Amino acid sequence: MSQDRIKDQKHDGQPDVSRRKFLNTAAFAGLAGASMTVGLSACKQEEKAAPAAAPASAPAAASEAGKYEVAPGQLDTYYSFSSGGHSGNVRIYGLPSGRELKCIPVFNTDCLVGWGITNESKAIIGTKPDGSLKYQTGDTHHVHPSYTDGTYDGKYLFVNDKINSRLARVRLDTMECDKITELPNVQGFHGTFPDKRDPVDASINHTTRVFCGAEFSIPLPNNGHNIEKTAEYRSLFSCVDSETMQVRWQVLIDGNCDLVATSYDGKLAATNQYNTEMGVHYPEMMSVERDACLFFNVARIEEAVKAGKVTYIGDSKVPVVDGRKAANADPKTALTCYVPIPKNPHGVNISPDGKYYACSGKLSPTATVIEHELVLKWFEGEIKEPRDTVVAEPEIGLGPLHTGFDNKGNAYTTLFLDSQIVKWNVEAAIKAYKGDKNVTVVLDRIDVHYQPGHGFTSMGETKEADGKFFISDNKFSKDRFLPVGPLHPETAQMIDISGDKMKLVADHSVLSEPHDSIVVRRDIIKTRQVYNMDEFPNAVKDPKDSGVFRDGKKVTVKLTGQAPAYSMPEFTVKKGDEVTIILTNHDKVEDLTHGFAIPKHDINFIVNPQETKSVTFKADKPGIYWCYCTHFCHALHLEMRSRMIVEL
C-alpha cells in the first residue's frame, strides 16, 4: 500500500492530488476494512467544508534558503535528540543545519567508544554469569529529558528499549549512558515520559518519575503456563525513579499502552490504547470503533502503594496496583480513567499550556482533544462519563499519528496516509465541537515526502514551546536522496511554522531508523569537555604507577596515555592469563582522545581527556600484539603503540 502511494508522487516533487485522494481512500479502506466507511465519509465532508485548507504549501523559495543555513564556524541554535530505532542508540543533530553531531551508544555495542567492550559499559548494560552481555540488541523509540517545573533542566535524557523492556538514562553533561533498568513482567515497552513536576510534594519542582508504557499483553507471570488463556493476558504501566532508576510501582491495566504523556502539574500520566479489544491478531485489534486514552492518577496510585494495596507478580519485588476497569468504577477512589476515543489511536501529546491532550485516531480521521481539568474533575466524581472529558474531535485527515504544538494554540499533526502535516487550532476545534459553524479549524496543510510517522516542534513538549520549527520524521525517503542501495535513509523534513503558512525549508537525511525526537534550545545543554580523574576509582593517577600486577592467573596491566605515547612501550603476560587493562588518559586538552586496540583479541575502546577505562580478556594466543591508538591524537599518532607480549 505504502509503495503504491509513493509511486504516485511525480518526480518534480509535486503530488498528483486527484489520484492521491483516490489512492488514500482505497489504501485506508484496505487497511481498516469495511468498518471504516463511517470514518471515510466523515472525512470527505470535512474536505468539502474546509476548502481553504486544500492547497498544499510550496517549499520555501530558493532566495530564502540561506536564511536557514548555518555558516561555517557558526553554531546551531537547537539540539535535536533522536532515537535510533533498532540501531539501539540515540543520535544528536544540530538544527537548523541538520549537522550530525554524535551517536550515543545505549543498548547497542559500539566499537568507536568501546560500548559493550569496556568493563564499565558492560556493567551498565548488564552481563550474564560468564561475563558476556545479557543483551546485545535494543530498539529505542522515545527520548525525553528530565524536567524542572515544566521545562528541560539539562540533567538527564531517558530512552526506552522496546525489545528487552529496558529504560536507559543518559547524562546530558557527558552525553553518555549511565544507567539501564529492566522492567519486570512486561513486553513491548514503548512510550516513555518523565514527570514534568512532582505531584505529591509541592516543594519538589523537578522530575522524580519516569513513566513507561508496555504495548504487548502477556500471561502474568509469563512462565509457560496459561498460554492459551489469551483473554487473561495483561499489560503493565510502570513508574521508575529517575535518580535510583529502580522501578517504584506498576499498574495492572486492561488493554495496552502505546505512547505516554505527562501533565504539567504532575497529577496525571496518560497513554493511548489501540488494543482495548485485547486481541491477539490484528483484525481483532481493529474490531471496535472506540479504543481509549487511559489516565493514571499518580498521587492515588502512590497512596495505594503506601497503604499496601498491592500484589506481586512472579519473582518481582515491584508492587503492582490494580488499574483494571472493573476495579476502578468509582471515580472517587479510581486510580485510572479510561476515556473512549476513536479507533486505534496513536500518539498522545499535551499542549504547552498544560490544558489539553491530543490523541490521534490513526484509523479514524480525527484527533481527540481531552481537557486536563475535566479529567481531574472526573476523578473527583464531578463528571459522570469519562467520555465527557472530550472537548473536541476535529477531522483533520487520514492516518493522524503524532501531534506537536506551537506557542499560539495551534497543533501540527502528522498524517501518515495523506503524507501531510496538518495545522489546526485547538480553541477553534473546541468551538466547532460545541456547534459553532463559523470557525476554521484546519488552518493549513503541507505535503511531506513521504508518509510521516513522528512529528515534533521546537521546545514543543515544554511550557517554553517557541513555535519556530516542526520536524517531520518521514518513513519513506525514496527519491529524495542519492540512492544507497535497498536500505534507504530516512528523511527529517524541517518546516518553518513561525508564519501563518507552513514552509518546508530543509530535507535532512537521517540514518535508519529514528522514531521520535525532541528539539532543545542550545542554552539548556551544558556539557563538560574534560573529565575529572578523581571520578574514576581505578584511575592510574601517576604514570609511575604503571606496571603488570599478577595475582595467580589474573593479571592487571596499569597504563596511562599521553600523546604520543603510552606509559609502557611493552608489557608481558602469559598464555592463559585473564588480563585486565586499565588505561587513564593523562592529556588535559579538550578534544584529545586516545584509543586502545589489541589485534586478534577483539579489543577496542577510547579514553577521553582525564578518563579511565578498563577491559578484561583472555590472553590465549602466544606472540606479540601491537596495541595501538585508534583515535587520531597527534602528529605521531601512528607511533602511539605498546607491544603486548604473550609468552608461551
Binding interface with ligand RUQ (CB under 6 A): 141-142, 190, 259, 346-347, 401-402, 453-454, 515-516
Q: Which three cell numbers stand for residue 384?
A: 459522570
Q: Which three cell numbers stand for residue 556?
A: 592487571
Residue 196 contact among ligand CUA, Ca ion, ligand RUQ, none, beta carbon within 5 to 8 Å by kind? none
Q: Could you tell which of Ca ion, ligand RUQ, ligand CUA, none binds residue 291, using a CB distance below 5 to 8 A set by kind? A: Ca ion
- Selection from Ca ion, ligand CUA, ligand RUQ, none that 631 binds (CB < 5 to 8 A by kind) is ligand CUA
Mark 239-278 with x for binding to Ca ion (rule: CB under 5 A) and - for no binding. Answer: -----------------------------------x----
* Nearer CB in complex with ligand RUQ: 475/508: 475
User: CA of 63: how far to CAs of 66, 227, 495, 505, 606, in Å?
Assistant: 7, 63, 16, 11, 44
Q: Which is nearer to ligand CUA, 573 or 633 (CB)?
A: 633
Residue placing its CB nearer to ligand CUA in the complex, 489 or 599: 599
Q: How far apart are CA 371 and CA 354, in angstroms?
A: 9
**Residue 513 preceded by cis peptide, ω within 30:** yes
Positive or negative torsion for Cα 115, 119, 125, 127: positive
Beta carbon of residue 402, minimum distance to ligand RUQ (angstroms, whole number): 6
Q: Which residues, numbered 285-344, are part of the site for Ca ion (CB under 5 A)?
A: 285, 291, 344
Cβ neighbours of residue 24 closer than 8 Å, sequence gap 6 or more: 5, 398, 417, 418
Nearest 10 degrees: Cα torsion 630, 635, 639, 642: -60
Q: How far is 646 from 648, CA to CA, in rounded Å?
A: 7
Shortest separation between residue 331's beta carbon and Ca ion, angstroms:
24
Question: For strand 469-474 and strand 452-457, is the pairing parallel, antiparallel, or unpaired?
Answer: antiparallel
Interaction of residue 631 with ligand CUA, rule CB under 6 A: yes
- Closest to ligand RUQ by CB, 36 or 259: 259
Nearer to ligand RUQ, 114 or 255 (CB): 255
Site of grid cell 499483553: 217
What is the three-class DSSP state of 274? Answer: coil
Nearer to ligand CUA, 508 or 594 (CB): 594
Q: How many residues bind ligand CUA (CB under 6 A)?
A: 9
159 near ligand CUA, judged by CB under 6 A: no
| Residue 401 touches which member of ligand CUA, Ca ion, ligand RUQ, none, C-beta under 5-8 Å by kind | ligand RUQ
Q: Is 573 in the site for ligand CUA (CB under 6 A)?
A: no
Three-state DSSP at 233 gives coil
Q: Say whether residue 559 binds ligand CUA (CB under 6 A).
A: no
Alpha-carbon span 9 to 412, nearest angstrom: 23
- Is 629 a residue that touches ligand CUA (CB under 6 A)? yes
Cβ(78)–Cβ(458) below 8 Å: yes
Q: Cell 587493562 appears where?
A: 581
Residue 613 binds to ligand CUA (criterion: CB under 6 A): no
Regarding 395 and contact with Ca ion (CB under 5 A), the answer is no
Strands 176-182 and 166-171, sheet pairing: antiparallel
Q: And the C-alpha cell for 148?
A: 524542572
Which positions touch ligand CUA (CB under 6 A)? 563, 594, 629, 631-634, 637, 640
Which positions touch Ca ion (CB under 5 A)? 274, 285, 291, 344
